[in-house]
Amino acid sequence: MKASKAIWMLMFMAWMPCALHGQNIDQIKNADPLVITGAVGTQNTYHYSSGTRYSSPLNNTIYANLNISIYGFAMPFSLYYTNNNLDFNYPQISFNLTPSYKNWTGYIGESSMSMSSYVMNMSFSGVGIEYNDGKRWRGGIFYGRLRKAINDDPTDPFARTPQYKRVGWGFKAGYGTGKNYLDLYMLYAYDCLNSLDERWRTRISPQNDVVVGVKGCVTPFSWMNFTANAATSVFNRDTRAERVAVEGSFDKVFDVRYSTLMRFAGDANMNLSFSGFNTSLSYRFIQPDYTSLGNYYMSNNYHSLGVTTNGTLFRKLSLSATFNGQADNLTKEQMYTTKGFIYGSTAAIRIGEHLSLAAGYNGYLQCQGDGLCVVNDTTEVRRVMNSLNFTPSYSYDTETLGHSASISASYTENKDLNRFATGESDVKTTAFGASYGMDIHPWELNVGVSLSHQQSDGYKTRYTSEVGSLTLSRSFLQEKNLSVSLTGTMAYNEVRRQSKNLSMGGSFSLGYTLAKVHVFSASGSFNKFGDVNITKTRSNLDMTDISVSLNYAYTFSLLTIKSKAHKQQDAEKREKEMREKVEKALKE
C-alpha cells in the first residue's frame, strides 16, 4: 500500500514546478531539449550467524531513480523501499547558473568563488560576478546567504542545534602572474536576528564580522620564491552587546561593541629549487579566537614551523624529509602549553627494470610546557612514537606469465617518556607481510597469495595475529562481461594468557553484464570460527557466519530529444563509421 502511494506521488511530483540545478548558460543552446534517463534495481542479502545476531537475517531493497533533464537542467527523483521502510526524494530547492562571456563569469544561485582560506571557504546562495583576463588582472564580487536558519521547536527533545540565517558580501582584486602577484580579499558577514525564534535567542548570540586578507608571491630568482597569506578579522561575538565609542570613522564601517575581538592569522613560505632538490620553509601563526564567519571551521591559538625537502639522486634514488613543530597557548592563558613535533624521511630506488626498494621513518613527539601553571614532573605529558618500514617489490612479465611479489616489514614504538612512567601505556608493534601475484595470460587467470604477521607487546600482555589468503579471479566470454572471483582465508589471533581464536572461510563474487544495461551480481561468504584455547571448555570451530547477496540493476534511456548540434554530431559519426567499414571491405 505504501509503495503504491509513493509511485503515484512520484508521477505527481514529476509534473510539479520545482527548482533546477543549472549549468553554464553558454551550454544551453547546445544542450538536448529533453532527456529522461533512470535506473531500477534490487539488492537482496541473507545473513546467518550461529552467535550474536548483529544484523537482520534478510535485507531486501528495491530502488528506482528517474532523472529528467531539460536543456541541461537536471531534476532527479528517487524511490527506495527497504524492509517495509519507504524513502522518497524529489528535487530540492536549489538553483545554479554560471553564465560566462569572454573574461567575465556570473554566479546565480548556489555558487562558490575562490577566496583566501583565512577569509572564506564556504559556498553562498546569491549572485556574483568575476573577471579574469587570463594574464594579469582579476577580480570579483558577490552577495548572498552563507547558511540557512535552523529553527526547530525548542520544546522538541530531538531538535537540531539552532542557528541564525547568515548573510554576507565580499570582493577580491588581484594583479600579477604565477611568479609575482598580489591579491586582496574582503568579507562582511552577519546573522539575521529575526531569523531565529525568540525562545532560542537567549541561548544563541547573533554575530557579525569584517575580514580583510592579502595574498602574494615574489620570485626574485628562478630558484627562489616567497609566498605569504594573511588576514585580519574584526569579530562581534554578540551584536546585541553595548556599543563602544571609537575615534575616527571606523564605527561607520563596523559597530564596535564590548564583545568585539580583533585577531590575526597568516602564513609565509620560502621555496628553493636547485640541483634536483626542492626545499620549502614555512611558518604559520593563528591567534586565539581567530574567526571568520565565511569559514566552516578553523583551528586557532597555535603557531608552527616546518621544513620539507625532496629530490632525486642519480635519476634513480628518490629522497624526501620533513619536519614540523607546533605549539599552542600563544597568550599563556592555558594551564599548560602543548607542543608537537612531526618528522620523517623516505627513500625509494629502482634497481634495473624489475626490482624496487622503499624505506621510511616517521616520528612524533608530544610534550608539555609551562602556562599559567608550572609543569609537574610527575604528571607531565611526554610521549614519543617512532615507526620504521621497509618494502621491496619485484615484477617480471613474459608472454605467458606475469609475476609480481612484495615483502613489507614495519616496526612501531609508542612510549611514555615521563621519568615516573610505569610503562603501562607503552606499545611495541612488529609486522611482516608477503604477497605474490601471477597472471596466466593464455588462461586470463589471476592468482594472488598473501601472508601477514603482526605482534604487539604491551604492559604484561602480547597480541599476535596471523592471516593468510588465496584469491583466484578470471573473466569469461568474448566480451569479458562475466567475471568470477574466489577467495579463501585463514586467521589466527591470540592474546597471551587470555584467548586463542581461529577462523577460516571463503568467499565468492560473480558478475555478469548483458547488453551493457543489465547488471547481475552475486556474492557470498562462509566462515567458521571459534575459541581454540585448550584451557577452555569449548575448543573447536563451532561458530558459523554465512552471507549471500543477489543484486540486479537496469539502466535505461526513456526519451531523448536531441539538439541540432548533437544530431549533426551523430550524423557525422555514422558517416565516419560507414566510411571505415567500406574502406575495410575494399582492403579485404
In sequence order, what DSSP letters do the residues of 215-239 get, joined into one string? EEEEEEETTEEEEEEEEEEEEES-T
Q: Please tell me the predicted confidence (pLDDT) of residue 283.
A: 98
Residue 31 corresponds to which amino acid?
A: A
Q: State mean pLDDT over 405-425.
A: 95
Mean pLDDT to the nearest integer, 573-578: 78
Note the pLDDT of residue 12.
Answer: 37
3-state secondary structure of 142: strand
Give me the half-sphere count of Cα atoms (radius 13 Å) on the Cβ side of residue 541. 13
- Span 253-278, average pLDDT: 92
d(CA 206, CA 257): 13
Nearest partner of 365 among 380, 349, 383, judged by Cα = 383
Is the pLDDT at 13 greater than 50, yes or no?
A: no
Spatial contact of 292 and 286, defined as CB atoms under 8 Å apart: no
pLDDT the model gives residue 334: 92
Q: Does 15 have pLDDT greater than 90?
A: no
> Can you give the pLDDT at residue 75?
75
The predicted-structure confidence for 269-298, as pLDDT tens digits, reads as follows: 999 998 889 999 999 999 999 999 999 989
Residue 251 has what pLDDT?
A: 66
Cell of 77: 527523483
Asked if the model's pLDDT at residue 76 lies above 50, the reply is yes
CB 144 within 8 A of CB 128: yes
Residue pair 525/504 in contact (Cβ under 8 Å)? The answer is no
Band (pLDDT 50/70/90 cuts) for residue 178 is: confident
Whether the predicted pLDDT of 531 surpasses 90: no
Taking residues 121-132, report their average pLDDT: 95
3-state helix, strand, coil in the chain (%, to 5): 10, 60, 30
pLDDT tens string 21-53: 444 555 666 777 888 999 999 999 999 988 766
More confident residue, 569 or 299: 299
* Mean pLDDT confidence for 221-235: 96
pLDDT of residue 20: 44
Q: Quick check: 334 and 289 in contact, CB under 8 A? A: no
More confident residue, 194 or 94: 194
**DSSP annotation string for 400-440:** SEEEEEEEEEEEEEEEE--TT--STT-EEEEEEEEEEEEEE
Label residue 19 by pLDDT band (50, 70, 90): very low
* Mean pLDDT, residues 178-188 taken together: 96
Compute the distance between CA of residue 123 and CA of residue 111 in angstroms, rounded to an integer.
6
Residue identified by cell 608552527 is 304
**What's the pLDDT band for 544 if we cut at 50, 70, 90?**
very high
Provide the whole-model pTM: 0.79
pLDDT at 3: 41
The 10 Å CB-count burial string (b at 16+, else e) for 415-425 is bbebeeeeeee
* Percent of the chain surpassing pLDDT 90: 65
Mean pLDDT of the chain: 88
Determine the pLDDT at residue 539: 58
Q: What is the pLDDT of residue 497?
A: 85
- State residue 583's pLDDT score: 75
pLDDT class of 534 with cuts at 50, 70, 90: low
Task: Give the position of cell 569559514.
Answer: 295
Residue 459 pLDDT exceeds 60:
yes
Which of 222-231, 253-262, 536-545, 551-560 shows the lowest per-residue confidence on average (mean pLDDT)?
A: 536-545
Res 22: pLDDT: 43
Q: Which residues share a beta bridge with 485?
A: 473, 509
